Amino acid sequence: MEAEQVRSWQTTSQTAPQRRQSDATEQKVKVKKRWITKGEKLLYSVFAVFVISSLLYIVSYSVSLDQMNRNIQSMETKVDNQMVSNKNLEHKVKELSQPDRIIANAKKHGLEIQNTEVKQASEMKE
């Protein structure tokens, strides 16, 4: 039996290294195929960063432009309201500066009007 064990041991020891050598040669032969090289990855990354940054710039510019337009509209609304207020005040000034009203108010407070010729300043212009 010992002779059979020795033979089986010799055959297994001889075949095992051969398998290891064949495995080693197979590993050396394998070449990884890359679809995208490292340089292309770098270029794509730089391009993606550029596109994203330009999109962010466009969005921020659009937001600031929109905010500026809203400010302009609010200022225009304030100007329109002030113009209406000014027109109302001008109308009130004309109403309060009528001679009939002034004479009535003077009589109400006990002032006497003399019968003299009174000329308005606007008629005095030559």
Q: How confident is the model at residue 47 (pLDDT cuts 50, 70, 90)?
A: very high
Largest alpha-carbon pair distance within the chain?
Answer: 162
Task: Kindly report which listed range (18-27, 32-41, 44-53) carries the lowest average pLDDT score.
Answer: 18-27
Structural tokens at position 66: 């929109």
The whole-angstrom separation of Cα 70 and Cα 73 is 5
| pTM reported for the whole predicted model | 0.50
pLDDT tops 90 at residue 72? yes
Q: Domain coordinates of the chain in residue numbers? A: 83-110
Residue-wise pLDDT tens digits, 85-124: 999 999 999 999 888 888 888 889 888 877 666 566 666 5
pLDDT in tens, 22-36: 555 555 666 677 788
Tokens matching residue 118: 């009174």
